[in-house]
Amino acid sequence: MKYQIIGKNITVTEGIHDALVKKLSKLDKFFKDDDDVNCRAVVRSYKKNEAKVEVTISTKDTAFRAEVKDRDLYDAFDKAVDKLAGQMRKFKTQLKKRYEHEGIGKAIIFEELEEEKADSEALKPVRFKEIHLKPTTIEDAILEMEQIGHDFYLYLDTDEEKMGVVYKRQDGGYGLLMADRKIEIK
């Protein structure tokens, strides 16, 4: 795994770097030796005596991400690694169930999956809904999302002529996902 560790409001000392790499190296068991795996970790320190760790591990096939806040930086490392390991086990279960030993999960080694079969059942859609997308601005999309009480809202952006999703962020703000292609709005 290739590591990139970035500090925000904190200097990444050799001790912090080594501790994080040591903890993240426990996840190597989920990947083959010849896989191109990149790990980007952002370590933040806040005035409120809090630390935040954001870790993104990406392969050519998929990506895993964990974000953890804690009073102790090293506890945040542990919790982030635990979250990532859980995501990887769940992903392995899904691939195994979907492809039944075809070896399709190129970056993931399949082992120890029996305890997670129940988790994969939860991923089946339980409701399907077809909606009419109306052209609107991002501001109106946010108002509509708030009005219907959802955490996200799919709409056609009149300014960009693209499909977008506006969503509520955990920090109380709003996020926007925008399609990379223009569409014809009638």
How do residues 141-170 score in pLDDT, each as one tens digit?
Answer: 888 888 777 888 898 888 878 889 999 988
Q: What is the mean pLDDT of residues 112-126?
A: 55
Residue bearing the bigger pLDDT, 12 or 183:
12
Alpha helices by DSSP H, the chain: 14-24, 73-99, 117-121, 138-148
Q: How far apart are CA 57 and CA 66, in angstroms?
A: 9
Report if residue 126 sits inside a domain: no
Q: What is the band of 80 on the pLDDT scale with cuts at 50, 70, 90?
A: very high
- pLDDT exceeds cutoff 50 at 107: no
CB contact at 8 A, 39 and 21: no
Same domain, 88 and 172: no
Q: What are phi and psi of 102, to 5 degrees?
A: -85, -5
Same domain, 62 and 150: no
Domain hosting residue 6, numbered range: 2-121
Same domain, 36 and 112: yes
Q: What is the mean pLDDT of residues 102-106?
A: 47
Q: What is the band of 30 on the pLDDT scale with cuts at 50, 70, 90?
A: confident
CB contact at 8 A, 31 and 51: no
Q: What is the mean pLDDT of residues 35-62?
A: 86
Report if residue 183 sits inside a domain: no
Predicted local confidence at residue 112, as pLDDT: 43
Same domain, 32 and 87: yes
Predicted local confidence at residue 134, as pLDDT: 77
Nearest alpha carbon to residue 66 among 100, 9, 119, 20 = 20
Q: What are phi and psi of 36, to 5 degrees?
A: -90, 95
Q: What is the band of 172 on the pLDDT scale with cuts at 50, 70, 90?
A: confident
Same domain, 105 and 153: no
Q: How far apart are CA 77 and CA 20, in angstroms?
A: 6
What global pTM score does this model have? 0.57
Nearest alpha carbon to residue 92 among 27, 171, 11, 153 = 27
Q: What is the band of 79 on the pLDDT scale with cuts at 50, 70, 90?
A: very high
Q: What is the band of 115 on the pLDDT scale with cuts at 50, 70, 90?
A: very low
